[in-house]
Every structure is written in C-alpha cells, then in structure tokens.
C-alpha cells in the first residue's frame, strides 16, 4: 500500500506526477475544509510536504498527525517549521539547499542594479511617455562601491562572486568568520556604516528577527541601499518605511516582506524602492530541481538510506 503524504502545496506538474506515482498525496491546498481533511487522514499521514508560503508546520499540526515521520520542506529556509516540536517527536526534517542558490543570488543582483540604476523606474518612464519631456534623473554607480553581505552562506557567497564581477569590494557579517578573501565584521552596525549596499542573505527565524532596525539603517546612511532576499522578518518594516520616507537611506530592493503577500501601501508609492514578489527560486529549472530533491529525500527516508539534505535539529 502506498504511504500517505500531506502536501501543503503542489510541486511543479512533472514532479507532482512522480510523487503521486509513489505515494498517496493528500492535496491540502485544494481542500475546502483543511481541518477536516487533516482529521480524515490523521492516522495515515507519514510525511508532510511543506513550503514557506503554505503556512507553518506547527506543534499543533504535528500533534494532529500521530504517525508523522518526516517533514520535507520545498525551500532552503525552514523558519515556518517548529523544529523544537519536530525534534521532540523525533520527526526528520529536510530542505532544498544549493539547487536554488544561483537563481536567488541573481535576484539580489537584479534588485541591486535596478534600485541603484533606476531600472524599473526607467522602464515606466519610457512607457508612460515622459522621456520626451526630459531625461530620467541620474542614478548611482555600482562600480567602486562596497557591498556588505549579512549571512555569508551559500547564497551570500554566490552574491559575493557576482558583486565582485561588478567591481565592488565585499565585506560581510555572519555568526562566524569564514575562510574567504573578504573582510569580516563581527559588528553589524559597524559593517553597515562601511557599506554602500547592505544585502541580506541570512536565515530567518527568531535569531535574526528585526535585526535590521532604524539604528542599522541610520548606519547604512543616506547614500546606502538595502537589498533583502532573505526573509521579511529580518527587517523591522516600520523602521524601514520611516527610513525610506525621510531618506535616512537612499533606497531598497525587496524580494521578501514581513507579511507576504501584503506590502505596505506607503511602499507602493515610493520611487526609491524596487519590489519583487518573493521570486528568488521561482524559475522553471530551479523549482523542478527543488521538487526532485524533495522526492529524493522522501525516497531515501522510506528506503532507510541517509537523507540527502537533512536539517540539523538543535541538540
Ligand atoms: P545557508 O547556506 O544556511 O546560509 C545562511 C546564512 O545565514 C549563514 O551564513 C549564517 O551564518 C547566516 N546567519 C544565520 N543566523 C545569523 C545571525 N543571527 N546573524 C548573521 N547571520 C546569520 O542558507 P542559504 O542557502 O544561503 O539561504 C539563506 C536564506 O535565504 C534562507 O534561509 C532563506 O530564508 C533565504 N532564501 C530566500 C529566497 C527567496 O526567494 N527570496 C530563496 C532562497 C533562500 P553562519 O554561516 O555564520 O552560521
């Protein structure tokens, strides 16, 4: 008999076909009454397929699924999963690192280039016919600037490589110093003071919550730009709005927000902000690789083999 997976969201069609060949998949996102669906399959479910934007995998959900053995996250970040609750129940957790690194780093560069060089603004400027009335205001050079990366993990390092090719100097802040040719700052505020572009590429969760507040934005300064491809929770969004309104910083490029898909109204009206709807990994190629990694982790688990990409549950 096929094992049962509770899927909070769909994989891409090809990967969904593969998954449904091997498992009975309960498609929770299609249910009109998710609580009832969970109750109906409670004793059967051995795995949950989760994604960041499909709500949390909470202590309560795990409680409702007494035979749950593994949570396979479609994404590298897992701040939507209660890891302590999973550990308490001996539930394995996997994620999809590495396969999404390049695409997400590309989005960071896209935001950095667009906000500094007025890319999106220039496109609108041409489309609405304002070019005939005069030139677009001047923009800001990338070359020769200092890029401060918060979180020099897989994506942070891929951003550093790309930014180096744009002739910038790289500095970084992480929990620990790495063996890399970039200057490390133990103190985030000190690094922000040195940076022209502050790029957030760290993990979300309680440890980094609102790490970027008004004090850090003031340190970044009126010629500095904030780029966030990490998590909306890393930034105090009220402080960011204030800093953008009173020009404490020059601008921001944002792929993630505190309360997605809600974006503060005030931000929608700002021309020193480039907005993107959480699309770091959102390409056909990468989403397909992420789906295959979810499937391969589930297969490894149920065949008793080592997990390909386990999330380490704190001891
Ligand atoms: P990773 O390799 O695990 O890197 C995470 C980095 O976060 C590490 O460098 C870590 O520092 C740093 N970090 C964690 N807590 C920190 C803290 N308190 N202060 C400073 N740095 C801290 O993961 P990744 O693959 O690069 O992904 C990074 C994050 O990007 C994910 O967690 C996810 O939230 C986000 N993401 C967003 C998108 C999108 O669509 N926008 C797509 C993919 C990922 P240490 O190395 O010193 O521990």
pLDDT at 47: 98
Under 8 Å CB-to-CB from 117, ≥6 apart: which residues?
Answer: 139, 140, 142
Name the residues annotated as catalytic. 231, 260, 278
- Is 216 close to ligand 1, i.e. is its CB under 6 Å away? no
- Is 157 close to ligand 1, i.e. is its CB under 6 Å away? no
CA of 152 to the centre of ligand 1 (A): 7
- Is 149 close to ligand 1, i.e. is its CB under 6 Å away? no
- Is 152 close to ligand 1, i.e. is its CB under 6 Å away? yes
- Is 203 close to ligand 1, i.e. is its CB under 6 Å away? yes
User: Quick one: pLDDT band at residue 214, thresholds 50, 70, 90?
Assistant: very high
Q: Poorest-confidence range of 52-61, 204-213, 244-253, 302-311?
A: 52-61
Is residue 147's pLDDT more than 80? yes
Ligand 1 nearest atom to the CA of residue 158, by list position? 26
Domains along the chain with CATH numbers: 4-97+284-302 (3.40.50.720), 101-275 (3.40.50.720)
Pocket test of ligand 1: the residue of 203, 234, 290 to mutate, having most ligand atoms within 8 Å of its CB, is 203
pLDDT at 63: 97
CA of 151 to the centre of ligand 1 (A): 5
pTM over 0.85: yes
Q: Give the neighbor-by-neighbor strand order of the sheet with 23-27.
A: 23-27, 3-7, 45-50, 70-73, 92-94
pLDDT at 167: 98
- Is 208 close to ligand 1, i.e. is its CB under 6 Å away? yes
Is residue 315's pLDDT more than 80? no
10-28, pLDDT tens digit by residue? 999 999 999 999 999 999 9
Ligand 1 nearest atom to the CA of residue 282, by list position? 40
270-283, pLDDT tens digit by residue? 999 999 999 999 99
- Is 202 close to ligand 1, i.e. is its CB under 6 Å away? yes
pLDDT at 53: 86
Question: Based on the number of CB atoms within 10 Å of its own CB, is 293 exposed (0-12), middle (13-18) or buried (19 or more)?
Answer: buried
CA of 39 to the centre of ligand 1 (A): 35
CA of 203 to the centre of ligand 1 (A): 3
How much of the chain, in percent, has pLDDT values that exceed 70? 100
Ligand 1 nearest atom to the CA of residue 231, by list position? 34
Average pLDDT over the chain, rounded to an integer: 97
Ligand 1 nearest atom to the CA of residue 256, by list position? 41
């Amino acid at each position: 008999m096929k094992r049962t997976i509770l899927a909070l969201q769909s994989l891409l069609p090809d990967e969904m076909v593969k998954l449904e060949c091997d498992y009975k998949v309960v498609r929770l996102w299609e249910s009109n009454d998710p609580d009832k669906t969970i109750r109906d399959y409670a004793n059967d479910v051995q795995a949950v397929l989760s994604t960041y934007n499909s709500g949390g995998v909470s202590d309560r959900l795990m409680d409702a699924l007494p035979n749950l053995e593994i949570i396979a996250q479609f994404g590298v970040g897992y701040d939507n999963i209660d890891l302590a609750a999973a550990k308490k129940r001996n539930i394995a957790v996997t994620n999809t690192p590495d396969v999404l690194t390049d695409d997400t780093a590309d989005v960071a560069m896209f935001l950095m280039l667009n906000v500094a060089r007025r890319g999106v603004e220039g496109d609108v400027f041409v489309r609405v016919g304002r070019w005939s009335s005069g030139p677009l205001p001047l923009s800001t050079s990338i070359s020769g600037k200092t890029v401060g990366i918060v979180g020099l993990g897989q994506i942070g390092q891929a951003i550093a490589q790309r930014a180096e090719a744009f002739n910038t100097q790289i500095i970084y802040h992480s929990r620990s110093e790495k063996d890399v040719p970039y200057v490390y700052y133990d103190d985030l505020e000190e690094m922000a003071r040195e940076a022209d572009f502050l790029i957030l590429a760290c993990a979300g969760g309680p440890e980094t919550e609102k790490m970027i507040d008004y004090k850090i934005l003031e340190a970044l300064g009126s010629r500095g730009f904030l780029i966030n491809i990490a998590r909306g929770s890393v930034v105090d969004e009220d402080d960011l709005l204030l800093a953008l309104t009173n020009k404490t910083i020059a601008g921001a490029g944002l792929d993630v927000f505190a309360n997605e898909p809600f974006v503060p109204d005030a931000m929608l009206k700002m021309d020193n902000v480039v907005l993107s709807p959480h699309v770091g990994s959102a390409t056909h190629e990468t989403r397909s690789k992420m789906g295959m990694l979810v499937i391969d982790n589930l297969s490894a688990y149920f065949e008793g083999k080592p997990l390909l990409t386990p999330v380490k549950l704190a001891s």
